[in-house]
Amino acid sequence: MNDLSSAPAPEGEAPRKQRKPDWIRVKAPVSKGYQETRKLMRDLKLNTVCEEAACPNIGECWDKKHATVMILGDVCTRACAFCNVKTGMPRMVDPMEPENVAIAAGQMGLEHIVITSVDRDDLPDGGAGQFVKVIKALRRETPNTTIEILTPDFRGKMRAAVEAICEAGPDVYNHNLETVPRLYPTIRPGARYYASLRLLEEVKSHDPIIFTKSGIMLGLGEQRLEVHQVMDDMRSADVDFITMGQYLQPTPRHAKVEDFVTPKAFAAYGSIARAKGFLQVASSPLTRSSYHAGDDFAQMKAAREERLAKERARANG
């Protein structure tokens, strides 16, 4: 385990954030491309998980005109211990949001877009209908853009939500397991591990062509064999793509980092995941669900085509 020590805060002051090792530090975003992306998001009144979740890769991604749009507002109905998104009662759904997402994709010239959302347990469909509208708007306005969605678990409404979204035809369906089952009560108390697994299974059951993707954070106190078991559970659900990245504490109020996992350990996890049969694996301290998503999608698509070609060759003797 790596040293997570930090100087104690003087009495009466808020606790200080933990020091990060050199391999996890990134430069503050200052580029022209970053500023242009930020202005576009403000002008179109769009939220991004890049900002709301305080992603460390925001400078690099926004400079390249890559952004993960967060629909259904910026207030979540849940309060996960790892997440920096605001919690409370959300505002009404913006009817212009699907069109504005499509406009942003067109102006940024996106080849691949990632759409995520807050949890909206207050809505009858959990927000699934807005995902459908956004996908349809993108297909209409930017037909060459491939679409990746990262959805919540649609607690109590999962089957109907997944069916509606799959019918709209995203290219990649991502839903993150986030951590190992043992840590759910403290890290993800509003969700259930096996319900999330069932959601991923449901996507493949409804449309086997849609790529499925899921990710976990490391450094929350999970054990190595627990991570291996999560990989096996994902493969049992026929998940195509696994992402593994370092958990970073957004504020001192959030769950503490128990360990800064080394780049070497991440590489070892990645090798094990590849051996288990995932089409695509992203495993590094700075890996996030949407980091390099476009490049990863292209590689995953090529990997599937190569696997299918080998299967046809074997079948033909």
What span, in angstroms and rounded, lies between the C-alpha atoms of 156 and 10? 46
CB 112 within 8 A of CB 293: yes
Helix, strand, coil % over all residues of the chain, rounded to 5:
40, 15, 45
83 is in an annotated binding site: yes
* Interacting residues of 209 by C-beta distance below 8 A, sequence separation 6+: none
Q: Tell me 282's DSSP state.
A: E
Distance CA 95, CA 72 (A): 10
DSSP 129-188: HHHHHHHHHHHHH-TT-EEEEE----TTTHHHHHHHHHHH--SEEE---BS-GGGHHHHS
The radius of gyration computed from the CA coordinates of the chain, to the nearest angstrom, equals 19
166 carries a ligand binding annotation: no
Binding-site residue positions = 50, 55, 61, 76, 80, 83, 290
Binding-site residue positions for [4Fe-4S] cluster = 50, 55, 61, 76, 80, 83, 290
